[in-house]
A and B are shown apart, each in its own frame.
Chain A
Amino acid sequence: MPISTAAQPHPPGQLPPPGHPQGDSRGKSGLRGVVGLAGEAMRTVLRSWTTTPGRLALIATGLVLLTLITGLTAAVMTQQKTDAVSELTDRREPLAAAAQQVYRALSDADATASSSFLSTGEEPPALRARFENDIAQAGVFLARAASDPDAGPEVSRQIDIIGKYVPVYAELVGTARANNRQGFPAGAAYLREASELMQSTILPAAEALYEADTKALAERQAEARSVPWLTAVLVIGLLAALIATQLYLKRRTNRVFNIGLVVATGAIVVGLLWSSAALITQSVLIGSSESQGSEQVDRLVRARIAGLKARVDETLLLVSRGEGEQYAKEFAKEAQEMAGKDGNGGLLAEARAAADEQDELAETLDKAQASATAWLKAHDKVRKLDGEGEYLEAASVAIDDTREDSSARAFNQLDVDLRTAILHGRQSFFDNASDAGAALTLLPWGWVALGLIAAGGVAVGMYERLREYR
């Protein structure tokens, strides 16, 4: 093996003394001083490279630094992943769930207020209680949905709109109630105004809020399962550097193994395998938290929102008494989005198709589809009776949930089914996301330990070689 002259060991004393910064760098501006120092350091490094022990010392320093940086980066990255997963379950998903509850509560309040209007005589206590619960829930869930420190200006704007107008809405309904009690038609006018406020101002804000929170959740999920490229490059680069150093040492010294460096390489390989296994598991589980959890929940929530809109249209159709063609059209549109033409299509069918492997959810969704079919049937009956001039009978079929054939009963059952299904989807999300977090357990500390072991290995291994030049 030819040995180049440049690689001849020199006694350390003969190393050219590092150049002292001369007076020229003194008295100059700080920036120039820094540039001068950097140049000086560069020259020193280049000079060291020309001798073997100098080169070994440089390699040793570089490797130790790279190992420490890699270990630290990997530890920070995996900690960030762990945090990202717990943010999903602790914050993003509850926010999205709160936002959908705000929408549901407000929309249900509006449908309930219209139903109370259709009822005759004294307002049914159950409807009144339901309305008041809805308003209370809207307030509580709005406060939860608003507790997002990362909320952007758009989200804040929607929350402001809802917060501002829900009390106004409730007051209008109260005024409507007071007028209704005295038999004054002004009550109906207040109710119409309230409903207009809800439909044109409050609910669009609630829908936008839900959409923003759902989008944020999806973005964080994508972030949580993204490939950590920087860390990957560092780890692979470190491994390559370790192997190259060992090859170089083998060539220089004819010794096959350097225990320190082998230990370091082993530690990094362990880290790489552990991280790969953990991150792939985590990514798959986050994927499941999407496909079986949040995406399914979103589908069901959208079905529920479409159902609530259709229910409001159904009651307003009767409130408008004869001139409600626009409500009939909107009902058809929303109902079709929710459940297709006959109750077996639309979002419910999509959700059902995605739930094939989850028996419990599939069962609930079968029930929901049956309820939707029953509702559409009851709605046809309402329309038929109304068309025949049997207005009071039509109103009774629409709002009296004690009747077997009423659309109120079918709608309520559908809402219960959807609530159960949504809870189920949320549970799937939570389970998968929690498992994803568990897959990363100890990994950050593992990287701290492995990084230190590897750095120690490099230092010891290189020190042994360097010592031979003393």
Chain B
Amino acid sequence: MRKLTAAKVAALLVASAVLTGCAAGEPRDLSPMVTAEPPMPANATINPKIEAPGGGEDDCGDPTVSLKPQGTAIPPGSTMDKIRKRKKLVVGVDQNTFLFGFRNPTTGQLEGFDIDIAKAIAVKLLGHPSAAQFRAITSQQRIDALKNGKVDIVVRTMTINCERRKDIEFSSVYYVAGQRVLVKKTSDYDSLKDLGGKRVCATSGSTSLRNIAQSPAKPIPVAVDNWSDCLVMMQQGQVEAISTDDTILAGMAQQDPTLKVVGERFTEEPYGIGIPKENKDMVRYVNAVLDEIRGGEWQKSYNKWLKPVLGSDSPPKPKYR
């Protein structure tokens, strides 16, 4: 009897040893922690290095004062003469900003307020709107494209300021926008002040991005190539807000009914046409064309693109020296 018990104990011990031996293993790891990080637009950078404005801001006086127009005659040898000879006006534009410069997917053509202004110049200079050859450039590329002579003019929601004036010339002001903030309709944010520590998107090389970075509330700036990339990040929940000119924000709000533009304009952004610094004759010519269209075509284009979202407005008064 005792022996039997001993045998039983031994058997139990062996069995438990076998069992614990089995339990020591694990099922094959199937990586239960699979997470797909949501993708970001190409070249999106969170908290990028932003160059401090070089030198004082006010060293050029009022940057919006441009060269006085001297009619639309084209003297031989002038910049306009060269453009006329090659029969193409190369214009740096945006193809991603709704209402200002964007590609209409139905026609493949570029459309918008900026595009209309560029076409008006092409019509005056070369007789036909299709003489404007558009090159899509990013905010960042605007000044280099002018300096390298890749484009004749840039019509791309470009704010006139003293820093840029060091590198390029500007036409007279053709529109005045102001920076505001785009947030979700369901959010409680009223301005940039409420967005401390939150991600706020703008394009690289834009004045808007710098304004976000310099905001005392210290939001985290997020830089992308194109304005619609900001909208994509907003829709993917990767940024809390977008802050730039009210004009651009209005175009985004049009594309997404769950977003709203909030707060007061906290900057003034006078848009000008960028022109290479050495082409003073072109600046005068463009100003002459702008003077001509301020009455009719400007209003027509404004009413078509911007009035429905921004209300009635009239062209800003040019200042000349």
Binding site for B on A (CB under 8 A): 117-121, 160, 164-165, 168, 172, 179-190, 192-194, 196-197, 200-201, 320-323, 388-389, 391-392, 395
Contact = CB atoms under 8 A, between A and B. Distances in A.
Contact of A185 (B31, B36, B96, B141): B96
Contacts of A320: 136
Given A118-B108, A192-B41, A322 B137 contact: yes
B232 A323 contact: no
A193 to B, nearest CB: 5
A426 B34 CA distance: 36
B105 A186 contact: no
B294 interface: no
A150 B51 CA distance: 52
Interface residues of B, number: 39
Given A322-B134, A323-B136, A323-B137, A193 B42 contact: yes
B102 A185 contact: yes
Contact of B41 (A168, A193, A323, A389): A193
A188 B103 contact: yes
B228 interface: yes
B228 A160 contact: no
Contacts of B109: 392
Contact of B106 (A165, A183, A194): A183
A189 B229 contact: yes
Given A120-B108, A185-B98, 13 more contacts: A181-B105, A185-B103, A186-B98, A186-B255, A188-B103, A196-B39, A197-B39, A201-B39, A320-B136, A321-B136, A322-B136, A322-B137, A391-B108
A210 B191 CA distance: 51
A392 to B, nearest CB: 6
A79 to B, nearest CB: 29
B149 to A, nearest CB: 14
B104 A172 contact: no
B164 to A, nearest CB: 19
A183 B231 contact: no
Contact of A179 (B40, B134, B136, B255): B255
Nearest to B38: A168
Among all A-B residue pairs, the 6 with the closest Cβ atoms = A322-B135, A389-B133, A189-B228, A120-B108, A196-B42, A321-B136
11 contacts: A119-B108, A186-B98, A186-B235, A188-B95, A188-B103, A189-B228, A192-B226, A196-B42, A322-B134, A391-B133, A392-B109
B312 interface: no
Given A193-B41, A389-B88, A185 B97 contact: yes
A336 B9 CA distance: 78
B186 interface: no
Contacts of B106: 120-121, 183
B107 interface: yes
Contacts of B231: 186, 189
Nearest to A324: B136
B259 to A, nearest CB: 11
A300 B156 CA distance: 45
Interface string B99-123: 0001111111100000000000000
A183 B305 CA distance: 14
A118 B141 CA distance: 23
A160 B39 contact: no
